[in-house]
Chain A
Amino acid sequence: MKFGVIVFPGSNCDRDVAYVTRDLLSVPTRMVWHEETDISDLDVIVIPGGFSYGDYLRCGAIARFSPVMPQVISHAQKGKLVLGICNGFQILTEVGLLPGALIRNRDLHFICDRSPISVERTNLPWTQAYRAYQVITLPIAHGEGRYYADADTLAKLEDNGQVVFRYHRENPNGSLNNIAGICNLQGNVLGMMPHPERASDPALGNTDGMDLFEGILAATANAYAQRRLSHQEFVEA
């Protein structure tokens, strides 16, 4: 089991993620410079927050063409886990692994706050450690976090249960349907604007984000156990 954290020029939450996975959870974690092209050793890829390429042109627009991205896409296509946080979410929409786009906040301001978030779906590796519709508090920090998709796409997201996190009661940025995080149809790619890695260390007074990382660990541990089991059955048969 190994985490990989993609580092673009301008990423600034990469070490926060690695601190959680490596230091708090003791899981091997590798920082992956965006020019690398072999990431086959990784089980879970995290695209962290920050301002990749200075957010020039559009957030995530240039990071999308980094040499590592085709590998991230094929990792996702194999059904393996990809998590995009904040700028990582923006990159995942630009690259087309998630539908829609993240645009300028309704009130134009950069928002740095704590936001109540409702966990809308818990039958995913990401959220299995939460209770359904549990309201958690996570930090948000973005200027372009307003989720937008056309009406058809939005209806499909809702019908397929792809909305994983929703802002609870108060919508800070004008996101359509209060969307704070969505997954792809298969559920192995998750993009979210809130920062679970900033709410994982008890020293910071809030560990609501830790359940997300522990959910990932449990999911991959199960997957390993199953793979070993089916291998064993195969050998015994």
Chain B
Amino acid sequence: MKLNLTMTEKLIYQAQIYVTLRPSVLDPAGTAVQSGLQHLGYDNVEQVRIGKYIELTVSAASEHEAKEQVDRMCDRLLANTVIENYRFDLLEQQPSINK
């Protein structure tokens, strides 16, 4: 086994993206789940809203670059800003050596 010791400049980031319905948009699925929870006895539960969670990795020269790119992806495809909001976290991933 030969180890590739030349490190690339790029870093790998995992983006954890949350897409949620805008508050002004009714969420009938959330309402149905809420009534389910209440039927289970959790009658203190309110405001159930169902969204999407998306994970992906990007390689980028810097966290700033990764952030800008993921933001564009969310705006262009992953969320429809007419009805949805999004936010995301970026986690720098340790490059794995033993491939």
Q: Return the contact of A103 from the options B25, B32, B77, B78 (Cβ within 8 A).
A: B25
Interface residues on A, range: 20 to 34
- Closest Cβ neighbor of A99 among chain B residues: B82
User: Is B80 within 8 A of A148, CB to CB?
Assistant: no
With contact pairs A103-B25, A108-B28, A108-B29 given, residues A65 and B77 touching in the complex (Cβ less than 8 Å):
yes
Q: Does A104 contact B (CB under 8 A)?
A: yes
User: Is B28 within 8 A of A107, CB to CB?
Assistant: yes
User: Is A57 within 8 A of B78, CB to CB?
Assistant: yes
Q: Give the complex CA separation of A101 and B28 in angstroms.
A: 16
Q: Give the complex CA separation of A2 and B32 in angstroms.
A: 47
User: Is A101 within 8 A of B82, CB to CB?
Assistant: yes
Indicate with 1 or 0, residue by residue over B3-29, a CB within 8 angstroms of chain A CB atoms: 000000000000000000000111011
User: Is A61 within 8 A of B29, CB to CB?
Assistant: no
Residues in chain A near residue B77, CB distance under 8 A: 57, 61-62, 64-65
- Closest Cβ neighbor of A103 among chain B residues: B83
User: Is B26 within 8 A of A108, CB to CB?
Assistant: no
Chain A residues with a Cβ under 8 A of chain B: 57-58, 61-62, 64-65, 93-94, 99-101, 103-108, 148-150, 174
6 pairs of residues in contact across A and B, judged by CB atoms under 8 Å: A61-B80, A65-B77, A93-B82, A107-B28, A150-B24, A150-B82
